[in-house]
Structure 1
Amino acid sequence: MGLTMTETDFATSSTPADVVRRQYLASAAADLAALRATLAPDVEWTEMAGFPLAGTYRTPNGVTANVMQRLGADWDGWAAHDDTYVVDGENVVVLARYTAVHKATGKHLNARVAHHFVVRGGLIVRFEQFVDTALVRDAATPDS
């Protein structure tokens, strides 16, 4: 007879993959408080050069204000669909897909991405995004 993880176990699990999965679920639900709860106080969150929000943000409030809230302001239905997790100790690499519609252009975005998380003590301490920034730029650029 196999053991199954209950919802409560998942909500409190400090395994790196579970912490990262909670981050994606919180993001999908637009639950910024739950998302901040997955981040270390000294988190370093890096959006890739060439991405509209490129840069490194620190603190849970800094991440949600400068990334998630700004994405929500510019895009309808912004979502990161996580599908494959590769875990090596505290490192979690997630292969995912961004989907959204740019509010100003009406153009759809559908881009594969990779996210690298470092999780220590049950919290995300570092994040780095890898994405085809040309696809994001094209969706955000009006046709001439």
Structure 2
Amino acid sequence: MTEEESNNVALLEKGYAFWHQSKADCEGVSCWMDLLSEDVQWRSLAAGAAGVEFTLACRSKDEVQRYFQDLGKDWEMVSYNVHEFIAQGDRVVMLGSCEWKHRSTGKIMKSPKADVHRLRDGKVVDFMEFYDTAAALEAAG
């Protein structure tokens, strides 16, 4: 692994560890916001579908802040586990799993999770998350 790849993985390891530990509270969100470039592109597999509107694509740090605020309104983190990181060049993939409880329905969504990051100068400039969208939509009711 190159030095750049090692540095990128180390940054994301810290971010994910804090995210899991904080259960997605304000401090956890703050940690992620510190890792993002101002012009970050942030995308989600659900792409703003009905019931998970917070997943609409973001094109700035301010829009990602909205993503996290809306996520927290509707969902409560049960668990978020990282299984491994794969790095090549400026890209890092996180493979893991997560569980979220929908605040209105009380239903729990469990899913494998894959996040693809591209970093530049120690900041995330591109993010795409993959998860079981059918489970999320089912839990959202």
For the criterion TM > 0.5, the same-fold answer is yes
**Other-structure match for 1:22:** 14
The alignment's C-alpha RMSD in Å is 1.9
How far the C-alpha of 1:21 sits from its partner, in A, is 2.0
**Other-structure match for 1:133:** 133
SS of aligned partner of 2:104: coil
**Other-structure match for 2:3:** none
Checking the alignment, whether the CA contact within 8 Å between 1:80 and 1:99 is kept in structure 2 is yes
Checking the alignment, whether the CA contact within 8 Å between 1:48 and 1:55 is kept in structure 2 is no
Distance between the aligned counterparts of 2:16 and 2:62, measured in 1?
17
The one-letter amino acid paired with 2:93 is: V
Q: Which has the larger radius of gyration?
A: 1
Runs of 5+ consecutive residues of structure 1 not aligned to the other structure:
1-13
Identity, in percent, stands at 26
> Normalising by the residue count of structure 1, what TM-score does the alignment of the two structures yield?
0.78
Runs of 5+ consecutive residues of structure 2 not aligned to the other structure:
1-5
How far the C-alpha of 1:79 sits from its partner, in A, is 4.5
Deviations along 1:73-103, one digit per CA (max 9) or x if unpaired, are 1012255322211111111111111211111
Residues 100, 113 of structure 1: alpha-carbon distance in 2 compared, 3 angstrom cutoff: same
* Greater share of helix: 2
Q: How does 1:50-61 map to 2 (within 5 A)?
A: 52=52, 53-61=54-62
The one-letter amino acid paired with 1:33 is: S
**Other-structure match for 2:77:** 77
**Other-structure match for 2:45:** 48
> Normalising by the residue count of structure 2, what TM-score does the alignment of the two structures yield?
0.80
The one-letter amino acid paired with 1:37 is: D
Deviations along 1:1-57, one digit per CA (max 9) or x if unpaired, are xxxxxxxxxxxxx81112222332343322132221100111000011355133321
Distance between the aligned counterparts of 1:16 and 1:124, measured in 2?
9
Aligned residues: 127
